[in-house]
């Protein structure tokens, strides 16, 4: 294990900011090595718990398959079939699970609930999406961009749409990796100011962090154009007002004309064709969306191997 990564053994991954730049880059290298079959870390006999309070296809399945490939296994602790859903205190659940499991991946609403698990647990807690961040997604996203261009040095990632959890982790992880990150979003849907300030502080002089209300300006010359749903899980009742607010922010062929000629298109999925992305762009040769979904698996294998101190 690279020296940068061995320091992460036993730690939590609650935010993209829990890693430094060298660690983030080393994780991407390990993920690429695992994907190519150059590395085969082992977690035989280790068990990961999954507590998901929101729906998931990619995150749940990729964590389950990642543990299987590493020689370990997962237990699905869906709140509806465990005492979590009946209100058992987080601090009790976290301490009990620490006696059985080697790590827990949690998808929930409040980042403070995730933090409460981490505070009480003695095993690594992993953010599998909260309303604030989606750091596992950002690892797969930058792995996909690195694959497409060979290196991330000097590249620009533009995210068009809602300044949400996905945008927050892209900002922080991009800053850590030296990537210019631009967010194109309408007024009222900016990423949180504290996250933008955090990303700017990390980027400090190495790359640019820019927020723009002009999607064409944000996309100009970008190497990756990324979008996500306009209404995230928990915001379903705002769907129709958001469709109005985000008019002009669809990643379609006319917006893509402003990007670099070799630009790739990314989306964390699930996608709403005809809203945040056109069907034509989604199915275009620029799309790396399904490579990106696959890369969740490789990035999370690297993450689990690192946090759980895998051999090999």
Residue numbers at the binding site for ligand CP (CB under 6 A): 56-59, 129, 137, 268-269
Q: Give me the least distance between CB of 268 and ligand CP, in Å please.
A: 4
Based on the residue annotation, tell me whether 296 is a catalytic residue of this protein. Answer: yes
- Which listed option, ligand CP, ligand NVA, none, makes contact with residue 228 (CB within 5 to 8 Å by class)? ligand NVA
Q: Assess 268 for contact with ligand NVA (CB under 6 A).
A: yes
Based on the residue annotation, tell me whether 267 is a catalytic residue of this protein. Answer: no
What is the SS3 assignment for 42?
strand
CB atoms within 10 A of CB 212: 16
Active-site entry in 228, 250, 288, 301: 228
Based on the residue annotation, tell me whether 39 is a catalytic residue of this protein. Answer: no
**Helix ranges, 260-309 (H):** 279-282, 289-307
Q: In the set 105, 139, 229, 266, which binds ligand NVA (CB under 6 A)?
A: 229
Rounded-to-integer distance, Cα 242 and Cα 276, Å: 11
User: Which sign does the torsion angle of CA 81, 86, 91, 95 carry?
Assistant: negative
151-177 b/e (C-beta count within 10 Å ≥ 16 → b) = ebeebbbbbbbbbbbbbbbbbbbbbbb
- Phi then psi dihedrals of residue 121, to 5 deg: -85, 155
Tell me if 137 sits within 8 A of 300, measured CB to CB: no
Tell me if 138 sits within 8 A of 145, measured CB to CB: no
Q: Give me the least distance between CB of 58 and ligand CP, in Å please.
A: 4
Based on the residue annotation, tell me whether 242 is a catalytic residue of this protein. Answer: no
- Which listed option, ligand NVA, ligand CP, none, makes contact with residue 57 (CB within 5 to 8 Å by class)? ligand CP
Q: Assess 185 for contact with ligand NVA (CB under 6 A).
A: no
Q: Assess 19 for contact with ligand NVA (CB under 6 A).
A: no
Q: Which is nearer to ligand CP, 139 or 179 (CB)?
A: 139
Based on the residue annotation, tell me whether 137 is a catalytic residue of this protein. Answer: yes
Interface residue list for ligand NVA (CB under 6 A): 129, 164-166, 228-229, 232-233, 268
By annotation, the residues acting in catalysis are 107, 134, 137, 228, 268, 296
């Amino acid at each position: 294990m690279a020296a940068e990564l061995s320091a992460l053994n036993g730690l939590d991954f609650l935010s993209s900011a829990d890693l430094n730049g060298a660690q983030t880059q080393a994780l991407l290298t390990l993920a690429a090595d695992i994907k190519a079959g150059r590395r085969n870390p082992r977690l035989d006999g280790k068990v990961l718990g999954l507590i998901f309070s929101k729906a998931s296809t990619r995150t749940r399945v990729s964590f389950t398959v990642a543990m299987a490939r590493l020689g370990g296994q997962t237990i699905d602790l869906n709140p509806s079939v465990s005492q979590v859903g009946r209100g058992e205190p987080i601090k009790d659940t976290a301490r009990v699970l620490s006696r059985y499991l080697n790590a827990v991946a949690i998808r929930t609403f409040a980042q403070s609930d995730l933090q409460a698990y981490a505070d009480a647990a003695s095993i690594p807690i992993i953010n599998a999406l909260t309303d604030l961040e989606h750091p596992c997604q950002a690892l797969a996203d930058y792995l996909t961009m690195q694959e497409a261009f060979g290196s991330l040095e000097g590249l620009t990632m533009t995210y068009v749409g809602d300044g949400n959890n996905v945008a927050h982790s892209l900002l922080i992880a991009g800053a850590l990796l030296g990537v210019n990150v631009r967010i194109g979003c309408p007024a009222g849907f900016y990423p949180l100011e504290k996250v933008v300030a955090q990303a700017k502080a990390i980027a400090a002089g190495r790359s640019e962090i820019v927020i723009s209300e002009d999607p064409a300006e944000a996309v100009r010359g970008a190497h990756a154009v990324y979008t996500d749903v306009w209404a995230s899980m928990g915001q379903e009742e705002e769907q129709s007002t958001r469709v109005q607010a985000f008019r002009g922010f669809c990643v379609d062929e006319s917006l893509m004309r402003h990007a670099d000629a070799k630009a790739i298109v990314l989306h964390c999925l699930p996608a709403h064709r005809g809203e945040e992305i056109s069907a034509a762009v989604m199915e275009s040769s620029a799309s790396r969306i399904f490579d990106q979904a696959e890369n969740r698996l490789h990035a999370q294998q690297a993450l689990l191997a690192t946090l759980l101190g895998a051999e090999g």
